[in-house]
């Protein structure tokens, strides 16, 4: 919290120099200060601006396609096309792995990517949370959604209970 106050004063002085609250000043400040490795451990990872932009978006928004990442990272970094995003994602997969390519969902054109900073991804839970394509009536569809939600919650509760038992035992 102390750094946040000092960082705010520093940011205000930088903004006075710039003459306005422009987004580039704010984004560059937070990228330099918070992702330098001094406060977060991204500094020792030596991410490029493009890699850092992708990781930030995945941390903020969760799993996304390369097209979504290209359009959403435009304030942090720039990509010429989606193939460049794919190349950076492939580098993050090989180097770390820091991200993982998820299986393509039915009816979708592109695969999504997720970060691995919170541990391994539970693909079964992710698949259950993905919306299923259905041609049933709205009431039947809603009922099946609720049943799936109950099953997902039961499995999460079971996992939490077993984890708690291991911690206590």
User: What is the tens place of the pLDDT at every residue in 68-92?
Assistant: 999 999 888 999 999 999 999 999 9
Same domain as 155, residue 86: no
Same domain as 144, residue 107: no
Same domain as 169, residue 118: no
Residue 61 lies in a domain: yes
> Which residue, among 112, 117, 12, has the nearest Cα to 65 in the 3D structure?
112
Same domain as 69, residue 88: yes
Number of structural domains, the chain? 3
Residue 128 lies in a domain: no
Same domain as 90, residue 60: yes
Q: What is the per-residue pLDDT for 133?
A: 47
What does the H/E/C string look like for 91-120?
HHHHHCCCEEECCCCCCCCCCCEEECCCCC
pLDDT at 33 over 60: no
pLDDT at 1 over 70: no
Same domain as 57, residue 20: no
Give Cβ neighbours of residue 107 (< 8 Å, ≥ 6 apart): 133
* Whether the bond into 53 is cis, omega within 30 of 0: no
- 98-153: pLDDT as tens digits: 899 998 888 888 899 998 888 887 777 766 665 544 455 677 778 888 888 998 99
Same domain as 118, residue 51: yes
Same domain as 114, residue 92: yes
Parent domain of 108 = 44-122
């Amino acid at each position: 919290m102390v750094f946040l106050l000092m960082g705010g004063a520093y940011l205000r002085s930088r903004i006075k120099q710039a003459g306005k609250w422009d987004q580039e000043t704010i984004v560059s400040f937070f990228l330099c200060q918070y992702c330098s490795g001094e406060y977060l451990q991204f500094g020792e990872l030596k991410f490029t601006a493009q890699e850092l932009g992708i990781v930030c978006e995945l941390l903020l928004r969760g799993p996304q396609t390369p097209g979504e990442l290209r359009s959403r990272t435009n304030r942090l970094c720039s990509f010429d096309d989606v193939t460049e995003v794919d190349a950076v994602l492939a580098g993050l997969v090989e180097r770390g792995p820091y991200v993982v390519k998820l299986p393509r969902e039915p009816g979708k054109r592109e695969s999504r990517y997720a970060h691995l900073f919170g541990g391994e991804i539970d693909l079964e839970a992710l698949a259950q949370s993905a919306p299923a394509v259905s041609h049933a009536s709205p009431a039947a569809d809603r009922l099946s959604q609720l049943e799936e939600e109950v099953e997902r919650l039961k499995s999460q509760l079971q996992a939490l209970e077993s984890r708690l038992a291991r911690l206590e035992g």
